[in-house]
């Protein structure tokens, strides 16, 4: 199995699908975490104001280490942070990347997300779907013969349709791996995001304190998703099984539309 996870920023995939990615990698799948931007604007250090390329290279190195923590690879379309646009150039870049990676399953956010980069990243993926199998579009990169399955990761946005949970992946057995992935994003979770939220002074300075904070974030997110998984969906995918943490997915109508048996093989529900 070949899993591709696509987010706009270097940390976007980690908490939403880090557990699923870790379970796929553990069972021997090829896993790629894609960041559409290089993350070169979301920060506040003075040195990055005049030299954003230093931030970009730091973020790309963090993304590489995060992916490597679970045996995955990291890729980027290298767009500027805050500047994801749906245009022909970026759509073709997305088509080429997906053709090259030949995924069976693609995980990404919905296009109703709060951040413009997230919305337009999702739109780029959706716009790429049909064109993946059209040989004369980007003819220099061979078209896919088989459409992958596209699935959105869980959210609670209600502008547009509320999220519909189609598949649930228990993540109780990969909390450590999910924290390993998250903890590599130092510039995000210990600098930029707390600074942006006005809580930079509260960031732990010792490695143990930082690890505890990431583990808390992983658990909180997993419990939050689990809480929103309808009982019949949990019973359908993990019958009779107790689990406290989860990642959840909605299957997109624009990719392949698999039956339950195929979905149960694609998503790493066991383990």
**Dist. CA 37–CA 131, nearest whole Å:** 22
- What is the separation, in whole angstroms, between the first and last Cα of the chain? 16
Closest chain position to Zn ion (CB): 9
Tell me how far apart the 2 most distant CA atoms of the chain are, in Å: 56
Determine the 3-state secondary structure of 247 from DSSP. Answer: strand
Nearer to Zn ion, 109 or 129 (CB): 109
Query: Whole-number minimum distance, CB 184 to Zn ion, in Å?
Result: 16
- Decide: 107 and 4 in contact? Cβ < 8 Å: yes
**What is the C-alpha to C-alpha distance for residues 42 and 98, in angstroms, rounded to an integer?**
26
Residue 8 vs 263, nearer CB to Zn ion: 8
- Compare residues 39 and 103 and give the one whose CB is closer to Zn ion: 39
CB of 97 to Zn ion, least distance (A): 18
Q: Which stretch binds Zn ion (CB under 5 A): 8-16, 125-133, 157-165, 222-230?
A: 8-16
Question: Of 10-18, 53-61, 89-97, 173-181, which segment contacts Zn ion by CB under 5 A?
Answer: 10-18
Q: Which of 9, 41, 58, 110 binds Zn ion (CB under 5 A)?
A: 9
| CA dist list (Å): 166 to 20, 61, 151, 248 | 15, 34, 9, 7
d(C-alpha 98, C-alpha 36), whole Å: 12
Residue number, 12 or 104, with CB nearest to Zn ion: 12
Nearer to Zn ion, 12 or 177 (CB): 12
By CB under 5 A, residue 113 contacts Zn ion:
no
Q: DSSP character for 23?
A: H
Q: How far is CA 50 from the centre of its chain?
A: 29
Torsion of CA 100, 188, 160, 262, to 10 degrees: 40
Contact 118, 109 (CB under 8 A): yes
Nearest approach in angstroms of CB 12 to Zn ion is 4
Q: Count residues contacting Zn ion (CB under 5 A)?
A: 3
Give min distance, CB of 44 to Zn ion, in A.
16
Question: Encoding tokens for residue 46?
Answer: 């003075």
Q: Could you tell me the smallest distance in angstroms from the CB atom of residue 8 to Zn ion?
A: 5
Does residue 127 interact with Zn ion by CB under 5 A? no
CB 115 → Zn ion: shortest distance, Å? 5
Give yes or no for residue 12 binding Zn ion (CB under 5 A): yes
- Of 9 and 58, nearer to Zn ion (C-beta) is 9
Task: List residues binding Zn ion (CB under 5 A).
Answer: 8-9, 12
């Amino acid at each position: 199995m070949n899993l591709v996870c696509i987010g706009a920023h270097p940390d976007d995939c980690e908490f939403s699908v880090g557990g699923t990615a870790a379970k796929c990698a553990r069972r021997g799948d090829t896993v790629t975490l894609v960041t559409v931007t290089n993350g070169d604007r979301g920060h506040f250090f003075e040195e990055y104001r005049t030299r954003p390329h230093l931030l970009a290279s730091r973020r790309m190195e963090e993304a590489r280490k995060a992916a490597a923590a679970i045996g995955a690879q990291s890729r980027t379309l290298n767009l500027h942070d805050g500047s994801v646009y749906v245009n022909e150039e970026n759509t073709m870049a997305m088509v080429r990347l997906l053709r090259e990676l030949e995924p069976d399953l693609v995980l990404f956010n919905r296009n109703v997300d709060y951040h413009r980069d997230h919305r337009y990243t999702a739109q780029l993926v959706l716009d790429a779907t049909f064109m993946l199998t059209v040989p004369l579009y980007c003819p220099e990169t061979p078209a896919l013969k088989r459409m992958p399955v596209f699935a959105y990761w869980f959210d609670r946005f209600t502008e547009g349709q509320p999220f519909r949970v189609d598949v649930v992946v228990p993540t109780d057995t990969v909390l450590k791996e999910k924290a390993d992935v998250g903890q590599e994003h130092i510039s995000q979770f210990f600098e930029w995001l707390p600074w942006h939220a006005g809580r930079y002074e509260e960031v732990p300075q010792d490695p143990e304190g930082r690890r505890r904070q990431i583990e808390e974030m992983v658990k909180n997110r997993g419990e939050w998703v689990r809480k929103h998984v309808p009982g019949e969906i949990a019973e359908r995918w993990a019958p009779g099984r107790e689990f406290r943490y989860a990642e959840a997915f909605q299957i997109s109508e624009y990719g392949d539309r698999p039956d339950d048996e195929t979905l149960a093989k694609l998503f790493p529900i066991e383990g």
